[in-house]
Amino acid sequence: MRRDLYNSDHELYRDTVRNFFQRDVVPHYEDWERGRIIDRGVYPLAARHGIFGLEIPEAYGGSGVADYRYRMIVCEESARVFTTSFNVTLGLFDDVVLRYLLELTTEEQKQRWLPGLASGERICAMAMTEPAAGSDLRGIRTTARRDGDAWILNGSKTFISCGTCADMVIVAARTGSGRSDFSLLVVEEGMEGFVRGRKLDKVGLHSQDTAELFFENVRVPAGNVIGDVGSGLSHMMFNLPRERLSVAAQSYTSARSIYEVTRSYASTRFAFGKPLVDQQHIRFVLAEIATELDVAEAYLDRSVSALDAASLTPVDAAKGKWYASELYKRTVDRCVQIFGGYGYMVESPVARAFIDSRASTIYAGTTEIMKEIIGRDLPDREVDGGEAAVASERA
């Protein structure tokens, strides 16, 4: 898998990651899926082996390694043993939540929060989505008003990953009258008025807990605001390239692993006196998948290098996100068909991927939103009405 992307240090890290998954994740994963929750005891183990919070600086208990290729290895090794829910959770923390805590916090906030996260003893979630505001962040209705040395927070959030187990939650709230006037507040376990709703029963990704959250006059200290007051929307936008690359990486690596297990199955499963792979239609389907995966891999490699060079644009990340997630969904569907009845049995990794893959085209921005972002960046076209029409298209 993708050996040309890595050097010897990465491959040593791969051995550590592979051993961790085999020892500390695979034996428990089915229990987690049945129980609809990941055992919190695994996070300190992951942190100890540099698999959780790798980029947290050494001063706060982490390793301080900022090289996305290490995250790619975690994605690959998780996909190899089909532990998708756990990988999505790691991606949520390392590629989403941690970015805000590293980039937007003060030294005092870092000292207060990062050591517990670096050790895996504390879990942090991100709460943006609301019942009436999904991809459209400007539709957020949760509010926070200043009251002396605190903010009074009211509202609700839904589809919040790690919402039931998080010790702290970064909440996006409207703090002014402007359409884009938002701020980010950290709500911590035990704050009065912070209520966790039901754990949502999802189609797939069962052990990756997702919940509703409610805030009823929660008094959030002013020292728990991260970034600049009123700049929450721009703060939320800055991390989108990495968040979308994360989904692309998870989607690609999962699709690749499902393809590999399906190719192996097609070589050993007989029909009409010969292996499935010797049936021309099956061979052609596998050839199509192999080609699409190689093309996606090349784009993903380029995106990883761009991210590490701080040059990955939101548009390029959007391209990778929608294409890889749709490829994942499409690949799994074709692989289920090749497996036949066995592909519909829940114990089959292909069946599990069938239900886990569907959300990848929705979270971190739907496929349609990704295409809208890309479309707005297309070169100007000559249309009737001249500049006014072009301006209208961009609005």
Confidence of residue 2 (pLDDT cuts 50, 70, 90): low
Domain termination residue (choose one: 83, 118, 153): 118
Residues 215, 151 within the same domain:
yes
Least confident of 76-85, 125-134, 190-199: 125-134
Q: How far apart are CA 71 and CA 53, in angstroms?
A: 10
* Tally of structural domains, the chain: 3
Q: CA-CA distance, 119 to 56, in Å (whole number)?
A: 10
Active site residue 243: yes
User: Which CATH number do you get for residue 104?
Assistant: 1.10.540.10
263 and 337, same structural domain? Answer: yes
CA distance 209 to 219: 26
Q: Would you state the pLDDT for residue 387?
A: 28
In a domain, 390, yes or no: no
Tell me which of 203, 231, 259 is where a domain ends: 231
50: Cα within 13 Å, side-chain hemisphere? 20
393 belongs to a structural domain: no
Average pLDDT over residues 106-135: 91
Model confidence pLDDT, tens digit, residues 17-37: 999 999 999 999 999 999 999
Residues 251 and 365 both lie in one domain: yes
CATH number at residue 174: 2.40.110.10
Together in a domain, 362 and 245: yes
Same domain, 159 and 279: no
Same domain flag for 108 and 47: yes
Instruction: Report the predicted TM-score, pTM, of the whole model to 2 decimal places.
Output: 0.91
228-274 tens-digit pLDDT = 999 988 888 888 899 999 999 999 999 999 999 999 999 998 777 78
Do residues 271 and 319 share a domain?
yes
pLDDT class of 3 with cuts at 50, 70, 90? low
Same domain, 254 and 367: yes
Q: Is the dihedral of CA 376, 369, 228, 59 positive or negative?
A: negative
CATH code (residue 320): 1.20.140.10
Q: Tell me: do 24 and 141 sit in the same domain.
A: no
Q: Which residues contact 373 (CB under 8 A, 6 or more apart)?
A: 314, 315, 318, 365
With beta carbons less than 8 A apart as the criterion, state whether 219 and 148 touch.
Answer: no
Q: Are residues 249 and 336 in the same domain?
A: yes
Q: What is the total residue count of the chain?
A: 395
Distance CA 92, CA 101 (A): 13
What does the radius of gyration of the chain's CA atoms come to, in whole angstroms? 22
**Same domain (yes/no): 220, 284:** no
pLDDT value, residue 228: 93
Instruction: Give the residue numbers spanning the domain of 310.
Output: 239-376
Residue 296: strand, helix, or coil: helix
Residue 150 lies in a domain: yes
Angle between helices 84-91 and 240-268 (to 10 degrees): 160
Encoded amino acid at 165, one letter: C
Among 188, 212, 243, 297, the one annotated catalytic: 243
> What are the tokens at 48?
């100890």
